[in-house]
Amino acid sequence: MGRVVARRNALYEEWLDEVPPYADAMRCLERLPEGIRLAVATGSRRIEVERILRRLGWLRRFQALVAAEDYRHAKPAPDPFLAAARRMDVPPGSCLVVEDSPAGVAAARAGGMPVLAVDRGRVAGGLDQATWKMSSLDGLIVTSSGEVLVGDQQSAVSGQQSASDLPEAEHR
């Protein structure tokens, strides 16, 4: 089993530099005001995530990185998101999780965190449990004070709400 995992990791690493980022995610990160703290909570290995973020020039933009080796139970357990909140010293309910998988949405909900699901058309269902659902991050607005506004006329949004009720909102 160990050789199979090692081979999978080696193949994945060979293609790592070829994987393009989601354009809407890049635009979202570019327009976030300075001072908005960010974390990554992922099921990928730290070496992989750091390599991707470094290649994109975003490694320094994230104050915390929680990778597969940093927690015991993977999504849909809340462990990755709770670990990120702890590292940022932020209450879970004050975080905003951005996810595109049903397991990630379930993990955020289990951790008591509001979650914005980005429906990229890859999964048949499971995103409906999110606090908000959009087809693109282009409709996500975060103000310099940390207020989160979800939706615009160009985005498919469920729950036309503002997340301004998040106390001292920190965003994932």
Q: Position of tokens 């995992």? A: 5
Model confidence pLDDT, tens digit, residues 81-113: 999 999 999 999 999 999 999 999 999 999 999
Q: Homologous superfamily of 2-171 in CATH?
A: HAD superfamily/HAD-like (3.40.50.1000)
Per residue in 124-139, pLDDT (tens digit) is 688 999 999 999 999 9
Does the pLDDT at position 44 exceed 60? yes
- Per-domain boundaries in the chain: 2-171
Q: Is 70 exceeded by the pLDDT of residue 167?
A: no
Tell me the per-residue pLDDT of 15-29, one tens digit each, with 9 for 90 and over. Answer: 778 888 999 999 999
**Mean pLDDT across the chain, nearest whole number?**
85
The pair of structure tokens assigned to 16 is 């790592």
Q: Model's pTM, two decimal places?
A: 0.81
Q: Give me the helices (H) in the chain, please.
A: 2-15, 23-31, 46-56, 79-88, 102-110
Mean pLDDT of 34-52: 94
In the prediction, which pLDDT does 102 show? 96
Q: Using alpha carbons only, how large is the chain's radius of gyration in Å?
A: 16
Q: Is the pLDDT of residue 163 over 50?
A: no
Q: pLDDT value at position 18? A: 81
